[in-house]
Structure 1
Amino acid sequence: MHKNASDIKVTNPIVLFDGVCNFCNTSVRFVLAYNKNENIHFSPLQSDFAKQLLAEHHLSAEDMDTVVFVENNMAYTRSSAAFQIAKHLSNPWKAIHYFRFIPKNITDWIYNLIARNRYSWFGKKDRCMVPKPEWMERFHE
């Protein structure tokens, strides 16, 4: 695992996720399973790496209740991040990318409802997920 964002060139898309959220961790495992090109990397929002990357994109590390997807030096949040991630998944999951045509206020409202309730609905861990050894090179701390 890399120690900080300046240690690597951000050439692969990166998902910044809540490392203690059960729903978020399940979502990360889903992306790992269906990202057949294995090009998406990951970092928990609680990590120094993620905090540095957020700062580079002028996003606050405080009160981050969203997934952040960084690709081609663009940072996407909330439903936009989910739709951008989906385009990297295998079929039929790749089709989720087309939901981006639904008005953002609707998709972000749904996203925010889940984000606000994620701990009460799905639970929370005491510490961040530890990736399987075969996934380690795709995780940055």
Structure 2
Amino acid sequence: MIIVFDAKCLLCSAWVRFLLRRDRQGRFRYASMQGQTGRRLLESAGLQVDDLRTLLVVDGERSWQHTAAIFRVLHALGGPWRLAWLAWPVPAFLRDAAYRWVARRRYRLFGSSEQCMLPPADAAARFLD
């Protein structure tokens, strides 16, 4: 499973660090939207690379965005993280509207960095760019 994220967004980078600490089996690989692999995956999913406002999760030929991507990732983590599915009955248009509201304001709310997130040395092999 590949997670495409905004490596300049502090919220997105915190999400990746959260996953790295909990994914002890190394199920996830990461591609920043600023890198070649991330851009290629976004384009193949039909997403605009510039001004992107979603997380993209790619698993083989399938991909997910917005809250569906978050649910897929938390499900793959297993254990208590699977309880996130309890929010699934909330209609997608409501969940995703809230997601997009935060995504549009992520730099203002959480900050951004001029430099992309650098992977920790022990997890560098899991980053595709």
**TM-score, length of structure 2 as denominator length:** 0.92
Query: Paired residue for 1:107?
Result: 95
**Deviation digits for residues 16-48 of structure 1, max 9, x if unmatched?**
000000000000011111223211000111111
Q: Distance in 1 between matches of 2:38 and 2:99?
A: 21
Query: Paired residue for 1:91?
Result: 79
* Aligned residue among 125, 131, 137 for 2:113: 125
The runs of 4+ residues in structure 1 deviating greater than 6 Å are: none
* Aligned residue among 34, 43, 47 for 2:35: 47
Name the count of aligned residue pairs. 129
Q: Distance in 1 between matches of 2:20 and 2:119?
A: 10
**Deviation digits for residues 40-89 of structure 1, max 9, x if unmatched?**
00011111111112223333323211110001311111111111111111
Query: Paired residue for 2:45?
Result: 57
For the aligned residues, what is the CA RMSD? 1.3
Unmatched 5+ stretches in structure 2: none
Unmatched 5+ stretches in structure 1: 1-12
Name the SS for the 1:43 alignment partner.
strand
**TM-score, length of structure 1 as denominator length:** 0.85
